[in-house]
Amino acid sequence: MVDFKRGIEELPKGSQILHEPLLNKGSAFSLKEREALHLNGLLPPRVLTIEQQKNRILENFNNKHNDLEKYIFLIALQDRNETLFYRTITDEIEEMMPIIYTPIVGEACQKYGHIFRRPRGLYISKNDKGNIRNILKNWSNDNVDVIVVTDGERILGLGDLGANGMGIPVGKLSLYTACAGVNPARCLPIMLDVGTNNENLKNDPLYIGLTEDRIRGEEYDSFIDEFMKETNEKFPDAIIQFEDFGNHNAARLLDKYRNRYRMFNDDIQGTAAVTLAGLLSSQRITKRDLEDEKILFYGAGTAGIGIANLYVTALTKKGYSKEEARSRCWFVDSKGLVVSSRKNLSQDKLPFAHEYYEKKDLSDIIQAIRPTALIGISGQANAFSKNILELMKDINDYPLVFALSNPTSSSECTAENAYKWTRGKCLFASGSPFDSVEIEGKIFIPGQGNNAYIFPGVGLGIILSKAEVISDDLFLAAAETLSNLVSDEELSSGQLYPSIKDIKKVSKEIAITVAKKAFSEGLTNMAIPQNIESSLDRIIYNPVYPDYI
């Protein structure tokens, strides 16, 4: 573990410290530090500040020809100087977040084997079964706060990318630090390589993973069981965050492990919380209550079911029965409207399968159901056509249109089309960022329903409280806090979420709320701190260089 408080005599010397990303300061090492650490002659003679270094980074960043080159440039910076990396992306978060995460991380994962430079985190393959404990021992830092893990089967809306999916845990953990100040030295990305069914990857000579088919059934389950058991023993205080597992595994693994380990699935619970926050924010404009919404989900995978379940939780807190709450949620999957007469429905869809006619055409469904909110989590680009959005406008004074699929190429509609085809009436949110839109002289700033508003703050609150179980109530509390942080000015321009530039403040407020909730609900054995905010300030990482002398 990196310990900035240890004596300078214990630090690596010479070129060795220059190759330690968490210790390296590059040209910012002082003259005294250069003398003590044997760096004279290994660096140019001029000492620069971190601000001067950042300006150089931004100049080079802006000279890159495309966004993928910018991604590669930033990852290379992270590999050599993490403090400067986090200082840069924290200060320039609005510009940098789309590069280090959605939408560009999707393209990066597709080409991961071709742009691979230096490994980060741990790769644990199906061939390591029975030996996972020893693989985990190879991670030198025993003090881990957050683990983000994927098996690469459903990367964003891009499908099975196998071991190339490592870009997701790496990117998510970068956001933990940039958005909430989680110490990067205490973060661990893990790729579980259980094979791939992507034939293009299997035939790619530069693919970095196993080229065998994915394991399934008992073989897969026993592998994940071993991973969870050994990881919990090796890193007992760590949050284990699941990312981009296939629909047939994501929800059932969450149900299996959620009460046994300190874990959650961001695609299910994080997406649910950020979407619910958008619904709550919209009430200040629509003057509707949460129970007044009738939600049509276009896509019935784990993300959509997760949103509906959290919506149901929110209504039951207001005194409604689960049946009453579920009656307000309707789903469309690849076979059409999810109704009770359909055969072979999965268990997670059954509670939302209403007694109604079978319908397949989305416009027919909207005309029949008359939803107030249309939420896209299908991965089907341009599914919300002009006809669909005009229907939503005709039915509602303020139609809610959430096109949440990532990356941008998979979005159900663009912000421009949503505003244009509803004549500026809709309240819009998307998974990936879109530029502002002018309609009839008014500027609309699309809200981005980015999970980064939720999981970093939730994680920080869990780190502080050491909650043993990460319950849905914590995500409900996070959603309510997020919606309350949207200003009137932001709402007036169409934003259902706070500005990304304020995301560190947002994450801290969510962390305070989550920690208080964990203490009040008895989810932790820790004594509540006298001052939760001060306790958070003591553990929040700030990207400034330490003085070694």
9-18 pLDDT per residue, tens: 889 999 999 9
Q: Enumerate the H helices of 63-103 as residue ranges.
A: 67-80, 82-91, 93-100
Identify the band that residue 4 occupies on the pLDDT scale cut at 50, 70 and 90: very low
CATH 3.40.50.300 for domain 269-452: no
Alpha-carbon gap, residue 273 to 114, rounded angstroms: 35
Whole-number Cα distances in Å, 231 to 92, 177, 190, 261: 34, 22, 11, 10
- CATH architecture of the domain with residue range 8-98: Up-down Bundle (1.20)
Alpha-carbon gap, residue 422 to 336, rounded angstroms: 24
**DSSP β-ladder status, 239-242 and 263-265:** parallel
Q: What pLDDT, in 10s, does the model give residues 154-181? A: 999 899 999 999 999 999 999 999 999 9
CB atoms within 10 A of CB 95: 16
Residue of 319, 343, 340, 322 whose CA lies nearest to 331? 340
In the numeric block, which tokens belong to residue 232?
């919990």
Alpha-carbon gap, residue 455 to 172, rounded angstroms: 9
Alpha-carbon gap, residue 321 to 251, rounded angstroms: 23
CB-hemisphere CA count at 13 Å for 315? 22
Residue of 399, 403, 349, 336 whose CA lies nearest to 370? 399
Residues of the chain with CATH 1.20.1370.30: 8-98
Total-model pTM: 0.96
End-to-end CA distance of the chain: 20
* 336-357 average pLDDT score: 95
The pLDDT of residue 1? 37
Q: Which residue has the tokens 């050491």?
A: 466
The pLDDT of residue 432? 87
In the numeric block, which tokens belong to residue 239?
């949050």
Whole-number Cα distances in Å, 462 to 150, 306, 523: 20, 20, 10
Q: Which residue has the tokens 């305070």?
A: 512
Residues of the chain with CATH 3.40.50.10380: 105-261
The pLDDT of residue 29? 98
Whole-number Cα distances in Å, 115 to 68, 105, 170, 280: 9, 12, 14, 41
449 has a pLDDT exceeding 70 = yes
Residues of the chain with CATH 3.40.50.720: 269-452
**3-state DSSP call for residue 300?**
coil
Identify the band that residue 213 occupies on the pLDDT scale cut at 50, 70 and 90: very high
517 has a pLDDT exceeding 70 = yes
DSSP class of 6: S
6 has a pLDDT exceeding 80 = no
CB atoms within 10 A of CB 499: 18
In the numeric block, which tokens belong to residue 325?
């709450």
In the numeric block, which tokens belong to residue 36?
């003590």
Residues labelled as active-site residues: 101, 172
Give me the residues paired with residue 438 across strands: 443
The share of the chain scoring above pLDDT 90, in percent, equals: 96
Alpha-carbon gap, residue 322 to 330, rounded angstroms: 14
DSSP secondary structure string for all residues of 484-548 = HT--HHHHHTT-SS--GGGHHHHHHHHHHHHHHHHHHTT--SSPPPS-HHHHHHHH---------
Cis peptide before 236 (omega within 30 of 0): no
Alpha-carbon gap, residue 508 to 361, rounded angstroms: 44
Cβ–Cβ under 8 Å, residues 168 and 455:
no
Among 3.40.50.10380, 3.40.190.10, 3.90.226.10, 3.10.20.30, what is the CATH number of 105-261? 3.40.50.10380
Alpha-carbon gap, residue 297 to 278, rounded angstroms: 15
58 has a pLDDT exceeding 70 = yes
CB atoms within 10 A of CB 11: 18
2 has a pLDDT exceeding 70 = no
The pLDDT of residue 157? 86
Residue of 261, 236, 179 whose CA lies nearest to 478? 179
Provide Rg for the chain, Cα atoms: 24
Q: What pLDDT, in 10s, does the model give residues 235-276? A: 999 999 999 999 999 999 999 999 999 999 999 999 999 999
Task: Find the helix packing angle between 247-257 and 302-317, rounded to 10°.
Answer: 40
Residue of 541, 477, 544 whose CA lies nearest to 276? 477
In the numeric block, which tokens belong to residue 373?
């909110």
Cβ–Cβ under 8 Å, residues 134 and 223:
no
Weakest-pLDDT range from 148-152, 382-386, 526-530: 526-530
The share of the chain scoring above pLDDT 70, in percent, equals: 99
Give me the residues paired with residue 297 across strands: 331, 375
Query: Over the range 189-224, which residues count as b (16 or more CB within 10 Å of their CB) and which as e?
Result: bbbbbbbbebeebbebeebbbbeeebbeeeebeebb
